Structure 1
Amino acid sequence: MHALDARRQWLARRHDELLAALRVRRDAPARLQVIPTVVEGGGTASGAGREVSAPSARTALLIVGGVLVVVAALVFTVVSWGRLGIGGRAAILLAVTVCALALPGLLRRRQLTATAEASAAVGLALVFLDAYAAREAGLGGLDRVGTAGYWAVLTTLMAVGAAVYGWWQRLRLPLPVGFLIARLPGLLGTAALGGAAENYATAMIATAAVDFAALYVLTARAATGPAGFRDRVGGEQAATILVTGARVVGGGWALLGGALAVWHAVGASSPAEVMRAWVPLSLLALLGTGLCRGFRALPPALRSAAEGVAVVALIVAVGAGLRCVTPSGWAVAGYAAPAALIAAWAAVSCARSGRWTKPARGGSYAPPPEAAAAMGELVAASTMLLLTGVVVLPELAHALTRPVVPGMELWLDGHPQRWSWQLATAPLVVLWLVVSVLATMAVLRARTVDDRHTDQLAKVLHNTTALAAVPPLLLLPVALGLPYGWVLAAAVMASVAVAVDVVRRQGAALVPRLLGLAASGVVALLWSSADRAAVLALWGTFAVSAAVLAHVLSAPTARPPVRTTACVAGAFAILALGVEAVASGITAGLPGHVTAFAVLAVAVIAACAAAAWHRTPGRDQVSTAVEGAGYVLAATALALTARHPGALSLALAVTGVAGLAIALRPDRRRAALMGTALLIASSWVRLALADVTVPEAYTLPVTAVALVIGHRRRTSTPGTSSWPAYGAGLSATMFPSLIATWSDGNWVRPLLLGAAALLATVVGVRTHLQAPLIVGSGVLVLVGLHELAPTVVQVFGLLPRWVPLAAAGLLLLLLGATYEKRIGQARRLRDTVRNMR
């Protein structure tokens, strides 16, 4: 206590010095003002290099001083309590508290507003210490009162008293302090009464309701003259900060209570618990509705959020009640049904209130007040409905993919296990509710806006509705318990019906129908995997349907989206025929490398169809898509024969011939390169099967083809360098043969390779071509080194060890003596080579 008192006295002295310096600065003339800064030693320094402004120093001093006073009072209350009697202790604490609370009025009259705020804060803190000390001392029998109840009453009085005191004294700090203290009475009172989770939620929501009611009363007097709300709290900025903070704290407190109420309602297991959960949920719904409908000072976004919270509370309350009376498994539907009804009603309200009205070009749109409530209801109900859809999504996904597992066992193992296909009705009802709300919103949005083709939200709603309507439509026979064949037939009929509608009405909305067609087709194909006959029938049917669709939609007068659809349909037709070929081969018991030739036949058919459609005006895009699908099937066929070299060689040969045939088209000349490469690869596989290990057998055909192609390129394109024309062809044979020469002890290969390299070198010199000269001479030198290597090694073994060193030294001297001459000759040789083509 002695140390604290000494520190307090030093802070008081520094406080007086700072105030005196500030008064000097205020009273000094503007041109002679000097900003003094008080240092701890008691002197002053010029303000030219100060780092802390005067207001910051004042605030820091007040905060530190106030904290130290509170700490001193706390130490006095806890430590030194026993040294005084009950009367003396009460008198001291009460006197200090009264002084602290009475000083702000005097300080405000002397224009010491910040000091007044600090004094008020100290006084409010001392009130808590007074209450604590009074109960600990048993003053008036307070020690026999329950702790939670005592503090509940005290915090209530403190919250009201702090707000009234701050309003009366025109102080900023007591109002938010009282507002924050008001969080505690409800929770403490509930704890004193032994309440459950729903009681705590009710207390929190009720506290938030009282907050907004008090805020409404205060802000209603904002413009009542000098005694208005803004003047009371210290100006426009302070009023804005206080109101915003009160909204955030009150709204957050209400949301916390609402989350607790929702958690209790969802987990309730009996009607009594549900009824108890209705109390906070009803209070939350009333609070949200009141804020949206009656609190006009809130921005439209906050009003929509308040109405959304009310809708969520209402949906949870109704859903919890329905869960108690509906059969088992229908709990999610109990939440989805009210959400769907409110979402549909909110969509109608949005359309009627003009929330979706499209403004004129260049104009602005101000939504009416009713639009905020409708929008909040729509967003909240739609979100709740989507959450229920997410809850039932695993069960729906399992039903959608149920035939896939036995289908995989059927095609991979050949012996599938017995399986059953079932789906409860409740998840399907939830999905139908989602689709119904989406359809309602799409129709209302399209009718409200002036131009539905330029409204992106209307398009998204239509497309989402079309995509989401497929699973409940196709799963309806499953929920009704129909056999597998009937369910599959219904899916196929739905796909065919949509395809016929696309063909007949090409000018209508295309994207939603295409999404429905794609979704229904994918589901039908997945479901068909559980039966071999179904796979053969369905993939063949879909291939023919897609081909017809591509032919009809690829008319020259078709719109770009329709042509894109035709391209996709054409590619799918070819891929479906490939799957049909694979399924037929597996069903017939053929091995994979034999089935590959059926797939290769489909690829050849695709190439022929692409060539035929390419000659038809306006169908070049479809031709390209069909050709690309054929390439995919050709690659698949080659992959199926990879483990059987004989079949692989034949498949490569067939594919190469097909590539050369494609190269007959004027726009596909480059296909000859791929066809030639495939034929060469086929010959390599055949040579490997014949145990041919001579590299020239593999490389000479490549060299011949490459040299012929390079020569034709130089002939057709003057100015082509010799490297792209002949470099690859010469290297394809010479470099592998050179590598084999160094590991071959026979003399035939070095002789033939040397002769070929010599011929290439001579041709390069005679024709002034760089590639034959460099490749041929380089290989010739390396072949010569290979032939001289044994002799060189033998000679080096016979010579004394000093001879190589002497020879190397003499060589260096000779090179050094003729350096300039050799450099000139090297430059002339370099220029000569560079001048070659």
Structure 2
Amino acid sequence: MHMQSPGCPDCGIPLGSPPPARCTRCRLPLTGPDAFALWQVTGELSALDARRQWLAQRHAELLAALRARREAPAEIPVAASAGAPAIVPVSGPAARELSAPSARTALLIVGGVLVVVAAVVFTVVSWGRLGIGGRAAVLLALTACALALPRPLRRRQLTATAETSAAVGLALVLLDGYAARQAGLGGLDRVGAAGYWAVLTALTAVGAAGYGWWQRLRLPLPVGLLMARLPALLGTAALGGTTEDYATAVIATAAVDFAVLYALTARDTAGQAGFRERVGGERAATTLVTVARAVAGGWALLGGALAVGYAVVAPSPAAVVRAWVPLGLLVLLGTVLCRGFRALPFALRAGAEGVAAVAVIVAVGAGLRYVTPPGWAVVGYAAPAALIAAWAAVSCARSGRWAKPATGGPAGEPTGGPTGGPFAPPSRAAAALGELAAASTALLLTGVVVLPKLAHALIRPVAHGVALWGGGHPPRWSWQLAAAPLVVLWLSAAVLAAMAGLRARAVGDGDRHPDRLANALRNAQALTAVPAVLLLPVALGLPYAWVLAAAVVASVAVAVDVVRRPDAALLPRLLVLAATGALALLWSSADRAAVLAVWGTFAASAAVLAHVLSATASPPAVRTTARVAGAFAVLALGVEAVASGATAGLPRHVTAFAVLAVAVTAAGAAAAWHRMPGRGQVSTAVEGAGYALAAIAIALTVLHPDALSLALAVTGVAGLAVALRPDRRRAALVGTGLLIASSWVRLALAGVSSPEAYTLPITAAALVVGHRRRTGTPGTGSWPAYGAGLSATMLPGLAAMWSDENWVRPLLLGAAALLVTVVGVRARLQAPLVVGGGVLVLVGLHELAPTVVQVFGLLPRWVPVAAAGLLLLLLGATYEKRIDEARRLRDTVRSMT
């Protein structure tokens, strides 16, 4: 008889409906009486699990509700109609600020601490007043009482008091040991302190754990766990151990912790009662197991760090051999935890295998350090890391999973890889991922170690180029790179390539099914391979020209490949193109002829790339590449112009016109490309690059006014030419502004200091543009149309008038302001009226100021004060009338446009 099931009871693979006679993966029979009974048991267990989950959830809800009422006023039960106790609040003078459990816990803690302090004082201070018999009797009696009290206290439901008594008893045990040695009981004072305390803490740790297990107490077990940290360290100190001995002791302690934890939880894993009941329930057991794993794992990592640090700096081969002992123990511990402890979480098992892999890498690298040539020590660590990473990548690919395996069967058994590949047990998957992560990290660290040497080799030509183009006479330079850093880089590139290929093959990666991890690995491999390949000629000692030629050829080859196949794996090739091109451009700076050749070649290549890619209906990435290529072609030509002028010995302000010629040519090319179908975005990029070059050209002429005026004029004319395009009408404003700026420079060179000579062209242009805007766009106000134009001349002229003692400027400015005011009133325009009237008033005040000052100088000082007071009285008397008049004036002005 068949029954429906979500999966195979053994391997967990989905069976479908109806299920087959045998599992298609593990070949488990699914028919017959035994199979029927198994389905029944499975169904009942599922029902029990569901019931248990509901009860646990209900328990948590009720407990949370009661905890929320913990701080409420006290309540007493009264008889209810159904016989159940009803809760009625008890009124009191004030609510209690401390709950009963909190008060009890505080009292127990304070009481226990006081008892221990009293025992210490008695042992240290008052010990000498008693004989040997009395001393032993008092301490033993106190210890025995404290350790014997928990059982009767638990029977009376005083669990917290029992835990406190046990803690006091354990503290007294240590005091007993201290007192016995201080008194020389049995010759203990002749025993070394470290050895004595090693034995005592070991016995106390074992006794505390056994005592807590026997008495079913929670506190003694973690106390014993923490105290178990000390015996191995104290014993090593007693024997005069070295760093590797301490590392061995710490790792051995962690191994014992995991072994004891496995022994305690084995029965619970098998479904038998034991550990959970002994420690006070499932929650307490989970907490204790988590703490024990954390402590043991931290202790193992501490020992591993000591062993690794000692192996890396070991002064001799014999010291390396001694360091292999803790490293080997760490490897054994990590392997056993990953492959033997099935109850451990997946992440912890993977981490254990990763630690073991790091120990292997360090052990091998430390040994190879004494057999490899000088400078190759880092390769001794990189080589095993690369081998382990490649092996782990192969294991991940074979298992069909690169992440934590999905679980769907009983006991958390995995249900198979994402692609239905061969089944891999969780231990193998955890081992593969742990080894891969650890080896990759170790390989990355070796790359960080050799990074300064690689960076120095990469930027060595640039440093020489800075001195060359700075105008000095740079000394001779050499370009060298040791082979060891390059080998590390090659190993990294090879591992990344292997991981990318295996990942793509494992998940069925392809153009139709992109995988993020495979793409990231492929891109990282591309970026790593570029310096690895281009620095190889440097390591081989080839001349500078050959190395630069190799970089240029590689970049051009990749660009040709992108043109031929624009849709196939574009991003990795673009990364390679950008990396090779950047290195070639940077390295070319070491030679003037190389700069001209390389930048010219790349400008032509980029122009061809932009032209070809923009001519096809391609995806957005390809179109973006075309835009970038077009902009780079223009900028490269600008650099070519600057380099040509510098090579020819031309001044900067003369070289600027070569750059400006490139910018003007770029504007013309952009206009031509804009008329071609599908090339609008490339045209915009080329045009923007041309604008940037125009700005650079103008900046190069800043220190030479004649050249600056000419550059501004040429750029302005070019801007007016650009404005001939229907979609670039606003370029006329920029062109006009540049021409005006050019005229300003010319006026400054001619010694003209009157501001009107500079501002009148702007005013005229602004008024013409504003008038056309107002007539062409109905509803345009007078301020947007005429405000800026009128202010451009009148405000600077007004500012210059106050420092000008001549009568011509006030007369002309006043006449112009009067004319503008009259026009504003006649046309009912607000901007001319306000600007012209305001300037006219200020001109009048300027003309009246000397007379006013003279009159005020002839009058007595009290007259201005009296006049001001009378004016205020007059304004106050006619306040309402003046307010109405001001409002009418405001409304009249507002009614204007």
Q: TM-score range by the shorter chain?
A: over 0.9
Shift of 1:833: 1.5
Deviations 1:791-835 (A, max 9, x none): 333344445555545554554454445444433333222222211
Shift of 1:94: 2.1
2:202 to 142, 149, 156: 156
- AA aligned to 2:501 is V
Corresponding position: 1:829 with 2:880: no
Task: State the distance in 1 between where 2:885 and 2:520 align.
Answer: 77
Task: State the distance in 1 between where 2:272 and 2:691 align.
Answer: 85
- AA aligned to 1:288 is G
Question: Given that residues 35 and 48 in structure 1 are in contact (C-alpha distance below 8 angstroms), is that contact kept between their aligned partners in structure 2?
Answer: no
Report the TM-score, using the length of structure 1 for normalisation: 0.92
Worse-superposed segment, 630-639 or 450-459: 450-459
Match of 2:3 in 1: none
Task: State the distance in 2 between where 1:244 and 1:380 align.
Answer: 23
1:616 to 658, 663, 676: 676
Corresponding position: 1:117 with 2:177: no
- Give secondary structure in 1 for the equivalent of 2:535: helix
Shift of 1:773: 1.3
CA 1:57–1:821 in structure 2 vs 1: closer, same or farther (change >3 Å)? closer
Shift of 1:158: 1.4
Worse-superposed segment, 415-424 or 83-92: 83-92
1:457 to 517, 523, 535: 517
Question: Given that residues 269 and 343 in structure 2 are in contact (C-alpha distance below 8 angstroms), is that contact kept between their aligned partners in structure 1?
Answer: no
Task: State the distance in 1 between where 2:151 and 2:805 align.
Answer: 115
Corresponding position: 1:769 with 2:829: yes
Task: State the distance in 1 between where 2:222 and 2:861 align.
Answer: 102
Map 1:415-564 to 2 at 5 A: 415-452=473-510, 453-564=513-624
Shift of 1:735: 1.4
Task: State the distance in 2 between where 1:140 and 1:595 align.
Answer: 99
Corresponding position: 1:59 with 2:105: yes
- AA aligned to 1:335 is Y
Match of 1:39 in 2: none
Shift of 1:663: 0.4
Match of 1:676 in 2: 736
CA 1:227–1:744 in structure 2 vs 1: closer, same or farther (change >3 Å)? closer
Task: State the distance in 1 between where 2:266 and 2:403 align.
Answer: 33
Identical aligned pairs, as a percentage?
80
Match of 1:289 in 2: 335
Map 1:200-215 to 2 at 5 A: 200-215=246-261
Question: Given that residues 606 and 626 in structure 1 are in contact (C-alpha distance below 8 angstroms), is that contact kept between their aligned partners in structure 2?
Answer: yes
2:664 to 568, 591, 604: 604
Match of 1:410 in 2: 468
C-alpha RMSD of matched pairs (Å): 2.6
Runs of 4+ off more than 6 Å: 32-36, 45-48, 223-226, 357-360, 362-367
Map 1:270-285 to 2 at 5 A: 270-285=316-331
Shift of 1:779: 1.4
Shift of 1:757: 1.2
1:166 to 212, 236, 239: 212
Task: State the distance in 2 between where 1:334 and 1:102 align.
Answer: 60
Worse-superposed segment, 211-220 or 762-771: 762-771
CA 1:795–1:162 in structure 2 vs 1: closer, same or farther (change >3 Å)? closer
CA 1:817–1:463 in structure 2 vs 1: closer, same or farther (change >3 Å)? same
Task: State the distance in 2 between where 1:52 and 1:195 align.
Answer: 52
Shift of 1:359: 10
Map 1:633-672 to 2 at 5 A: 633-672=693-732
Question: Given that residues 723 and 729 in structure 2 are in contact (C-alpha distance below 8 angstroms), is that contact kept between their aligned partners in structure 1?
Answer: yes
Report the TM-score, using the length of structure 2 for normalisation: 0.86
Match of 1:354 in 2: 400
Match of 1:12 in 2: none
CA 1:835–1:147 in structure 2 vs 1: closer, same or farther (change >3 Å)? same
Shift of 1:109: 3.2
Task: State the distance in 1 between where 2:270 and 2:566 align.
Answer: 67
- Give secondary structure in 1 for the equivalent of 2:442: helix
Task: State the distance in 1 between where 2:201 and 2:516 align.
Answer: 54
Match of 1:245 in 2: 291
Match of 2:773 in 1: 713
Task: State the distance in 2 between where 1:140 and 1:372 align.
Answer: 53
- Give secondary structure in 2 for the equivalent of 1:221: helix
Worse-superposed segment, 412-421 or 222-231: 222-231
Task: State the distance in 1 between where 2:614 and 2:373 align.
Answer: 53
Corresponding position: 1:585 with 2:645: yes
Match of 1:15 in 2: none
- AA aligned to 1:543 is A
CA 1:812–1:234 in structure 2 vs 1: closer, same or farther (change >3 Å)? closer
Match of 1:42 in 2: none
2:458 to 393, 400, 421: 400
2:351 to 295, 305, 317: 305
Shift of 1:281: 0.5
Match of 2:690 in 1: 630
Task: State the distance in 2 between where 1:47 and 1:257 align.
Answer: 60
Shift of 1:764: 1.0
Task: State the distance in 2 between where 1:156 and 1:189 align.
Answer: 10
CA 1:46–1:686 in structure 2 vs 1: closer, same or farther (change >3 Å)? closer
Task: State the distance in 2 between where 1:739 and 1:79 align.
Answer: 94
Shift of 1:555: 1.4
- Give secondary structure in 2 for the equivalent of 1:87: helix
Deviations 1:537-560 (A, max 9, x none): 111111011001100111141221
CA 1:33–1:797 in structure 2 vs 1: closer, same or farther (change >3 Å)? closer
Match of 1:760 in 2: 820
Deviations 1:392-445 (A, max 9, x none): 001100000001111011111241111111100000000111111111111111
Task: State the distance in 1 between where 2:297 and 2:346 align.
Answer: 15
Match of 1:372 in 2: 430
Question: Given that residues 567 and 625 in structure 1 are in contact (C-alpha distance below 8 angstroms), is that contact kept between their aligned partners in structure 2?
Answer: yes
CA 1:313–1:768 in structure 2 vs 1: closer, same or farther (change >3 Å)? same
* Structure 2: gaps of 5 or more residues: 1-73, 418-424
Question: Given that residues 318 and 335 in structure 1 are in contact (C-alpha distance below 8 angstroms), is that contact kept between their aligned partners in structure 2?
Answer: yes
- Give secondary structure in 1 for the equivalent of 2:268: coil
Structure of greater relative contact order (alpha carbons < 8 Å, 6+ residues apart): 2
Match of 1:9 in 2: none
CA 1:816–1:454 in structure 2 vs 1: closer, same or farther (change >3 Å)? same
Shift of 1:193: 0.6
CA 1:549–1:95 in structure 2 vs 1: closer, same or farther (change >3 Å)? same
Match of 2:173 in 1: 127
Question: Given that residues 389 and 439 in structure 2 are in contact (C-alpha distance below 8 angstroms), is that contact kept between their aligned partners in structure 1?
Answer: yes
- Give secondary structure in 1 for the equivalent of 2:175: helix
CA 1:699–1:188 in structure 2 vs 1: closer, same or farther (change >3 Å)? same
Task: State the distance in 2 between where 1:357 and 1:342 align.
Answer: 18
Deviations 1:98-135 (A, max 9, x none): 23222323333333333322222222222112211111
1:784 to 839, 844, 847: 844
Task: State the distance in 1 between where 2:93 and 2:109 align.
Answer: 23
Match of 1:75 in 2: 121
- AA aligned to 2:654 is V
Task: State the distance in 2 between where 1:813 and 1:215 align.
Answer: 99
1:234 to 280, 283, 299: 280
- Give secondary structure in 1 for the equivalent of 2:209: helix
- AA aligned to 1:755 is A
- AA aligned to 1:512 is P
- AA aligned to 2:650 is L
2:150 to 104, 121, 133: 104
Shift of 1:31: 4.6
CA 1:25–1:126 in structure 2 vs 1: closer, same or farther (change >3 Å)? farther
CA 1:786–1:277 in structure 2 vs 1: closer, same or farther (change >3 Å)? same
Task: State the distance in 2 between where 1:710 and 1:227 align.
Answer: 94
Corresponding position: 1:750 with 2:810: yes
